[in-house]
């Protein structure tokens, strides 16, 4: 079965807009799990615009499901501009301290609004490989955020990744615009099959929603999807628990 990991970034963003304790990230994680979520995902960034380092420490001991921390492994420590927020210790230090089930490495920069491309491992592979090894020695499964490009996927295997997470923005765009959907989906199918053939697990995420997930769930070897933005929007409309159930139904669960 395909696991649904709920990304809580937007819950944290709402909280931070008032610099208050509500909505509680930990309480909403518990609500998602109670409704049937298979995992919880967070993506802390150095500016702590949504998920903060402190959220990761609070979530880590509470979850009885998979905990997935996403982020740029090359991001170093950063001083907070607000005392109550706390400093960002650097991505690798944060992951080593909290020891999530899975760590997803994403090449996002400080100026990016959201993740919008996978790693170029021809450029960054030599820097990423020892970090992957370090995480795996701690018993953390490592996934690398990737575009559906065969050469890059083969490099992910060579540098020691356990899984890839396919960046699904182009697929979501194709469905939304009703343009070349079958061709784009075919490209993702080919990429996923290659990953399976060389021993990599396949995750996916970004802009997956109730309109496009059911088709994408037919991707060969798909193990997990991470969904946050669209699920949060649907939660406003139908309630958080109902939204989790609706996404699980798209995954035939």
CA angle 131, 134, 139 (to 5 degrees): 130
Kindly list the distances between the CA atom of residue 176 and the CA atoms of 167, 209, 245, in Å, as whole numbers in the listed order: 16, 11, 23
Catalytic residue from among 28, 70, 187, 224: 70
Give DSSP secondary structure letters for 82-146: STTT--B--HHHHHHHH--SEEEE----TT-SS------HHHHHHHHHHHHHHHHHTT-EEEEEE
Catalytic residue, candidates 28, 50, 165, 206: 206
| CA–CA distances in Å: residue 126 to residues 42, 132, 177 | 26, 11, 37
Dihedral over Cα of 74, 77, 82, 83: its sign: positive
Give the separation between CA 243 and CA 5, rounded to whole angstroms.
13
Range 213-217 contact pairs with CB under 8 angstroms and sequence separation of 24 or more? 213/247, 213/250, 213/251, 214/250, 215/175, 215/185, 216/168, 216/171, 216/185, 216/188, 217/2, 217/250, 217/251, 217/252
> CB of 216 within 8 A of CB of 204?
yes
Residue with structure tokens 């959907």? 181
Length of the chain measured in residues: 253
Q: Is 50 a catalytic residue?
A: no
Choosing from 28, 43, 50, 224, the catalytic residue is 43
Q: Is 28 a catalytic residue?
A: no
Catalytic residues: 43, 70, 206
């Amino acid at each position: 079965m395909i696991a649904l990991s709920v990304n809580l970034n937007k819950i944290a963003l709402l909280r931070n807009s008032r610099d208050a304790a509500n909505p509680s990230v930990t309480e909403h994680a518990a609500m998602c799990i109670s409704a049937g979520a298979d995992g919880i995902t967070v993506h802390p960034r150095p500016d702590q615009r949504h998920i903060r380092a402190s959220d990761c420490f609070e979530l880590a001991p509470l979850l009885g499901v998979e905990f997935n921390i996403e982020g740029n492994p090359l991001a170093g420590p950063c001083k907070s501009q607000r005392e109550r927020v706390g400093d960002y210790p650097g991505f690798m230090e944060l992951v080593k301290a909290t020891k999530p089930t899975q760590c997803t490495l994403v090449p996002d920069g400080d100026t990016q609004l959201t993740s919008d491309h996978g790693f170029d491992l021809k450029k960054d592979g030599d820097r990423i490989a020892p970090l992957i090894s370090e995480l795996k020695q701690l018993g953390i499964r490592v996934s690398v955020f990737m575009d559906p490009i065969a050469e890059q996927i083969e490099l992910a295997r060579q540098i020691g990744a356990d899984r890839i997470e396919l960046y699904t923005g182009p697929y979501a765009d194709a469905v939304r615009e009703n343009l070349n959907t079958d061709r784009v989906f075919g490209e993702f199918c080919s990429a996923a099959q290659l990953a399976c053939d060389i021993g990599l697990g396949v995750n996916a995420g970004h802009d997956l929603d109730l309109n496009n997930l059911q088709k994408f769930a037919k991707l060969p070897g798909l193990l997990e999807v991470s969904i946050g933005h669209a699920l949060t929007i649907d939660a406003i409309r139908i309630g958080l628990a109902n939204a989790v159930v609706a996404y699980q139904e798209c995954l035939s669960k």
